[in-house]
Amino acid sequence: MKKVLFVCVENSCRSQMAEAFAHIHGKNNLEVYSAGSKASGKVNDKAIKAMQAVGYDLNQHYSKSLQDIPDIDYDYAITMGCGDECPDVRAKQRLDWSIPDPKHMEPVRFHEVRDMIEARVSTLLLGN
């Protein structure tokens, strides 16, 4: 089972949605986590609404810091384009997806970012 970690600064939007799509599309083939370098402690309401629109309940998630995730060897550590390098995370592969931060975007643009994240997660899963 592949172990995947998605990271953004606050762990409130992008990495949360990436984790959700990995759960949706990865079924039971992945052990998936998300975290933030400066976790906000709260999942963004816009992210919750955007994921509800595709049938996923982000209310079951919470914003975690890098210190809150398991200290394991990850197959992938994927940052969302926020400049985080996660030096304390052991990973076989490190990827940066350069996803724009949707936090202050209007719903239409926010959904475009959500869809971009879903496409990236799906592509990652096809390679495994």
- Catalytic pick among 39, 86, 99, 113: 86
- Catalytic pick among 32, 66, 82, 113: 82
State the Cα–Cα distance between residues 9 and 81, nearest whole angstrom: 9
What are the beta bridge partners of residue 65?
36
Q: Is 57 helix (H, G, I), strand (E, B) or coil?
A: coil
13 catalytic residue (yes or no):
no
State the Cα–Cα distance between residues 7 and 114, nearest whole angstrom: 15
What are the beta bridge partners of residue 33?
5
Q: Judge whether 110 and 62 are in contact, CB under 8 Å.
A: no
- Catalytic pick among 4, 7, 8, 99: 8
86 catalytic residue (yes or no):
yes
82 catalytic residue (yes or no):
yes
Which residues are marked as active site? 8, 82, 86
